């Protein structure tokens, strides 16, 4: 496993230039270029904000900004969009690059690394956009925002780990590629991004602690919206889950790699 | 004997299928799962290649040539056996892979070189060289989508060969691009060879292997069946193909769309057709300019008044290179009886360009097939013209000139 990472290190220029290429290719023949990466999640925030806040007039306790709900949505969306981009793009990365894998020899681990890198760039862009909107709406996140890098690392480990396992699965069982987007949508609604966790009643409420995304999304909301420190205890659970899934993913990937090209 | 640069020992590659993909995955973790099928594409390969050797890999489609190259480049992993490689490999399989049409040639060149594992500094240092070798002028900084396919090949080749590899793998990439660039790339490969690089070439045509290689390996059904000098290997290979084709003529006739089509009313039929070389042997490969004979045996089945045999030589695109019939030559057969057999021997020199040709035959009553068409046969026979000993030339016809030059300066 160490050798695998060492080989990837030797290809760092390639990984870097691929991420750059992917970023630049958004500008080719599209006027707003990479802005679309920011516009999509923000448009979703606007839709939810409009429907839930203006139409259903839900209230957010504990904060007195009248745009409070929009802020809350944006924080959750920042966490979720990074995670879902990592999972859904890692899912198809090997299948999409099948012909390249068959013809060129390079460390295969570069592909998921490129995906992770470019998802990270997109997330940072979204973060900058969100900060600007926060400032416009008259909200300052406070010092706890400095915890954000820790949360991002956790988020990337979780998303990349799960994505890598699913991506390898998808090479052998293509149905995985169809199922995962549906599961992701379910998962989105099982995570308090659009709604407040305290509004949850229902029978299944007690099972939600199994969702490793909840502490993460909650931490994003705490540091960006409520100016509070993340809740470390539940986050530890997420961290353990992320580390285990990443290690398993690398191990699984290494076992699968020899047969992957045979099947593509 | 020095240390071989490439050493292959009992190499084998199998594609395995399992009753379910879950079982395949379990097998990675040491679970005792048996595949339901193992298809060996290559097996028991043993050979060593010395530094500086140029080796041609010959074999029919499906013999395992490309699998072998993929194993050597490392995109596929061997199922059994071992392989030792001492040096960097550059493979030119499928030039033009992975170019992003929206980016400039320069950026794509950069990206591809990165994929080959070179660092930023190395690429930047080599970039002027790549640009000048590709010779596409200002297009180098235009998006690749504006390129012709020939221009893409130029850039790709320039990148792939910008650094001298210890082993260069060429998979028929030489036959792409325009004649000028083909020459240029050929020269570069030669240069590498002179500087001590090892070459591995896969090609179907005798000429490129014979000019570059000093050794050839013949693969058949995933095994090395012959390893020796290219001349000998090609003779063996051609004989092998010829034998095979004779056996399968009947099958080819039936289901292959490109194969023989026979039509006509059937009063007379071509029973046998074969091409003989100057030594009087049945040949599928003939030399440029070699005197050859087309021997056709015709049998009459029902009474007719006149019988005329026509034939045409077509190139691989179906253009008739030459054709005539026995009406024009004044050799009409009058009132043949059912059961009569005739042998036509058509002798002519193979004054044709290098390539593959087919023979078409027609049995008719006069100069056209419009009044009566006893039998019409397309692709009755296929043969190849190769240039063994003539001056190199281009075109579909051999028209050897005598060139004289006199110096006009004092």
CATH number where B58 lies: 3.40.50.300
pLDDT of residue B13: 87
pLDDT value at B174 more than 60: no
Residues B206 and B288 in one domain: no
Residues B213 and B270 in one domain: no
Q: Write out chain A residues lying below 8 Å of B119, CB-based.
A: 13
d(CA B403, CA A254): 65
pLDDT of residue B207: 66
pLDDT band at A156 (very low <50, low <70, confident <90, very high): very high
pLDDT value at A58 more than 80: no
Q: Write out chain A residues lying below 8 Å of B102, CB-based.
A: 25, 28-29
Is there a contact between B29 and A256 if contact means CB atoms under 8 Å apart?
no
Of the residues B235, B268, B303, the one at which a domain ends: B235
Q: CB contact, 8 Å: A261 with chain B? A: yes
Is there a contact between B77 and A258 if contact means CB atoms under 8 Å apart?
yes
Q: Do the domain assignments include residue B253?
A: no
Q: Do the domain assignments include residue B184?
A: yes
Q: What contacts 24+ positions apart, CB below 8 Å, involve B210-216? A: B210/B234, B212/B54, B212/B56, B213/B54, B213/B55, B213/B56, B214/B53, B214/B54, B214/B55, B215/B53, B215/B54, B215/B55, B215/B56, B216/B55, B216/B56, B216/B57, B216/B58
Most confident region among B239-248, B250-259, B282-291 by mean pLDDT? B282-291
pLDDT of residue B369: 63
Q: Write out chain B residues lying below 8 Å of A21, CB-based.
A: 100, 103, 107, 111
Q: CB contact, 8 Å: B30 with chain A? A: no
The mean pLDDT of chain B is 81
pLDDT digits (tens, 9 = 90+) for A210-246: 888 888 998 998 888 888 888 888 889 889 999 999 9
pLDDT of residue B246: 44
pLDDT band at B184 (very low <50, low <70, confident <90, very high): confident
User: Which residue of chain A has the CA closest to B29?
Assistant: A255
The mean pLDDT of chain A is 83
Is there a contact between B103 and A28 if contact means CB atoms under 8 Å apart?
yes
Is there a contact between A104 and B24 if contact means CB atoms under 8 Å apart?
no
Q: How far is A257 from chain B (nearest CA, A)?
A: 9
pLDDT of residue A180: 92
Residues B298 and B230 in one domain: no
Q: Write out chain A residues lying below 8 Å of B22, CB-based.
A: 173
Average pLDDT of the residues in B82-91:
83
pLDDT of residue B26: 79
pLDDT value at A109 more than 80: yes
Q: CB contact, 8 Å: A29 with chain B? A: yes
| SS3 at position B47 | strand
Q: How far is B107 from chain A (nearest CA, A)?
A: 9
- Residue A152: which region, alpha, beta or left (left: phi > 0; alpha: psi -120 to 50)? alpha
Q: Write out chain B residues lying below 8 Å of A25, CB-based.
A: 100, 102-103
Residues B68 and B176 in one domain: yes
Is there a contact between A261 and B75 if contact means CB atoms under 8 Å apart?
yes
Q: Which of A74-88, B141-155, B202-216 has the lowest mean pLDDT?
A: B202-216
Average pLDDT of the residues in B167-181:
70
Q: CB contact, 8 Å: A6 with chain B? A: no
Q: Do the domain assignments include residue B392?
A: no
User: Cα dist. B365→A96, A242, B304, B344, B368 in Å?
Assistant: 61, 85, 8, 16, 8
pLDDT of residue B46: 86
Q: What are phi and psi of B402, to 5 degrees?
A: -115, 120
Structural domain including B358 reads 260-386
Of the residues B200, B235, B270, the one at which a domain ends: B235
Q: Do the domain assignments include residue B39?
A: no
Q: Do the domain assignments include residue B3?
A: no
Tokens of B18: 């399992």
CATH number where B265 lies: 2.70.50.60
Average pLDDT of the residues in A67-86:
87
Q: Which of A110-119, B90-99, B205-214 has the lowest mean pLDDT?
A: B90-99
Tokens of B200: 């591995």
Residue in A29, A101, A256 nearest the CB of B75? A101
Cβ neighbours for A49, distance < 8 A, ≥ 6 positions apart = A69, A70, A73
Is there a contact between A262 and B15 if contact means CB atoms under 8 Å apart?
yes
pLDDT band at B253 (very low <50, low <70, confident <90, very high): very low
Residues B120 and B223 in one domain: yes
Q: Do the domain assignments include residue B398?
A: no
Residues B209 and B270 in one domain: no
For a pLDDT cut of 70, what percent of chain B falls above it?
A: 87
pLDDT of residue B6: 84
pLDDT value at A14 more than 70: yes
Is there a contact between A103 and B107 if contact means CB atoms under 8 Å apart?
no
Q: Do the domain assignments include residue B206?
A: yes
User: Which residue of chain A has the CA closest to B25?
Assistant: A256
Residue in B75, B111, B120 nearest the CB of A103? B75
Residues B199 and B165 in one domain: yes
pLDDT value at B252 more than 70: no
Is there a contact between A255 and B29 if contact means CB atoms under 8 Å apart?
yes
More confident call, B293 vs A24: B293
Q: CB contact, 8 Å: A185 with chain B? A: no
Most confident region among A16-20, B190-194, B402-406 by mean pLDDT? B402-406
What DSSP string describes chain A? -HHHHHHHHHTHHHHHHHHHHHHHHTTTT-SSTTHHHHHHHHHHHHHHIIIIIIIS----TT---TTHHHHHHHHHHHHHHHHHHHHHHHHHHHHHTHHHHHH--S-TTHHHHHHHHHHHHHHHHHHHHHHHHHHHTT----GGGGGHHHHHHHHHHHHHHHHHHHHHHHHH-THHHHHHHHHHHHHHHTSTTSS-GGG--SGGGGGGGG-THHHHHHHHHIIIII-----HHHHHHHHHHHHHHHHHHHHHHHHHHHHHHHH-
pLDDT of residue B255: 36
pLDDT of residue B257: 40
Q: CB contact, 8 Å: A255 with chain B? A: yes
CB pairs under 8 A between A and B: 76
Average pLDDT of the residues in B138-165:
83
Residues B214 and B321 in one domain: no
pLDDT digits (tens, 9 = 90+) for B362-379: 898 887 766 777 888 877
pLDDT band at A82 (very low <50, low <70, confident <90, very high): very high
Domain tally for chain B? 2
Residues B185 and B76 in one domain: yes
Residues B117 and B220 in one domain: yes
Residues B54 and B176 in one domain: yes
Measured between its terminal Cα atoms, the distance across chain B in Å is 55
Residues B96 and B201 in one domain: yes
For a pLDDT cut of 90, what percent of chain B falls above it?
A: 12
Tokens of B233: 């290997």
Residue in A10, A17, A173 nearest the CB of B117? A10
pLDDT value at B251 more than 50: no
Largest Cα span, chain B:
87
Q: Do the domain assignments include residue B24?
A: no
The ipTM is 0.75
User: Which residue of chain B has the CA closest to A19?
Assistant: B111
Identify the residue among A262, A263, A264 best suited for mutation to test binding to B, counting B beta carbons within 10 A and taking the highest: A262
Q: CB contact, 8 Å: B70 with chain A? A: yes
Most confident region among A33-47, B47-61, B190-204, B340-354 by mean pLDDT? B340-354
Residue B299, strand partner residues:
B269, B341
More confident call, A183 vs A141: A183
pLDDT band at B242 (very low <50, low <70, confident <90, very high): low
């Amino acid at each position: 496993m160490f050798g695998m990472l060492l080989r990837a290190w030797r290809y760092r220029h390639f990984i870097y230039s691929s991420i750059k290429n992917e970023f630049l290719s958004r500008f080719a023949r599209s006027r707003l270029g990479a802005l679309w990466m920011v516009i999509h999640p923000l448009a979703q925030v606007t839709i939810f904000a409009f429907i839930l806040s203006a139409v259903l007039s839900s209230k957010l306790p504990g904060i007195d900004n009248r745009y409070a709900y929009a802020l809350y949505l944006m924080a959750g969306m920042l966490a979720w969009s990074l995670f879902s981009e990592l999972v859904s793009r890692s899912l198809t990365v090997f299948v999409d690059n099948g012909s390249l894998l068959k013809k060129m020899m390079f460390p295969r681990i570069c592909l998921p690394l490129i995906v992770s890198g470019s998802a990270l760039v997109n997330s940072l862009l979204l973060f900058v956009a969100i900060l600007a909107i926060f400032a416009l709406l008259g909200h300052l996140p406070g010092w706890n925002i400095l915890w954000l890098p820790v949360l991002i690392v956790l988020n990337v480990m979780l998303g990349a780990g799960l994505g890598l396992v699913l991506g390898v699965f998808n090479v052998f069982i293509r149905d995985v590629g169809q199922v995962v987007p549906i599961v992701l949508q379910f998962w989105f609604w099982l995570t308090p991004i659009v709604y407040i966790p305290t509004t949850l009643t229902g029978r299944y409420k007690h099972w939600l602690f199994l969702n490793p995304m909840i502490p993460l999304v909650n931490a994003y909301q705490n540091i960006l919206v409520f100016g509070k420190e993340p809740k470390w205890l539940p986050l530890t659970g997420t961290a353990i889950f992320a580390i285990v899934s990443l290690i398993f993913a690398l191990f699984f990937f290494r076992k699968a790699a020899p047969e992957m090209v045979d099947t593509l | 004997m020095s240390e071989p640069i490439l050493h292959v020992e009992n190499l084998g590659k199998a594609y395995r299928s399992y009753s379910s993909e879950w079982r395949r995955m379990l097998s990675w973790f040491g679970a005792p799962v048996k595949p339901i099928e193992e298809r060996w594409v290559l097996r028991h390969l043993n050979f060593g290649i010395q530094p500086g050797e140029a080796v041609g890999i010959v074999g029919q489609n499906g013999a395992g040539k490309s699998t072998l190259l993929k194993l050597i480049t490392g995109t596929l992993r061997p199922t059994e056996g071992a392989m030792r490689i001492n040096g960097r490999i550059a493979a030119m399989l499928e030039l033009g892979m992975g170019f992003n049409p929206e980016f400039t040639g320069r950026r794509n060149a950069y990206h591809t070189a990165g994929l080959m594992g070179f660092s930023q500094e190395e690429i930047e240092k080599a970039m002027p060289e790549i640009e000048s070798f590709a010779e596409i002028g200002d297009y180098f900084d235009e998006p690749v989508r504006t390129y012709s396919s020939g221009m893409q090949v130029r850039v790709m080749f320039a990148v792939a060969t910008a650094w001298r590899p210890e082993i260069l793998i060429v998979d028929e990439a030489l036959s792409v691009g325009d004649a000028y660039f083909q020459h240029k790339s050929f020269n570069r490969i030669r240069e590498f060879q002179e500087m001590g690089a090892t070459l591995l070439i896969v090609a179907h045509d005798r000429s490129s292997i014979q000019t570059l290689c000093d050794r050839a390996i013949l693969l058949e059904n995933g095994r090395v069946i012959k390893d020796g000098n290219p001349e000998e290997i090609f003779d063996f290979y051609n004989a092998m193909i010829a034998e095979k084709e004779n056996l399968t003529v009947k099958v080819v006739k039936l289901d292959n769309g490109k194969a023989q089509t026979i039509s006509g009313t059937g009063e007379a039929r071509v029973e046998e057709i074969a091409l003989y070389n100057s030594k009087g042997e049945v040949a599928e490969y003939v030399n440029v300019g070699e005197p050859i004979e087309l021997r056709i045996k015709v049998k009459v089945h029902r009474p007719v008044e006149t019988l005329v045999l026509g034939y045409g030589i077509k190139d691989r695109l179906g253009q008739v290179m030459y054709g005539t019939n026995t009406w024009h030559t004044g050799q009409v057969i009058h009132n043949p009886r059912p059961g009569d057999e005739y042998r036509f021997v058509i002798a002519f020199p193979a004054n044709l360009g290098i390539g593959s040709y087919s023979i078409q035959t027609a049995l008719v009553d006069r100069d056209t097939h419009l009044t009566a068409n006893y039998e019409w046969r397309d692709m009755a026979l296929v043969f190849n013209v190769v240039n063994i000993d003539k001056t190199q030339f281009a075109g579909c016809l051999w028209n050897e000139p005598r060139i004289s030059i006199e110096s006009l300066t004092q």
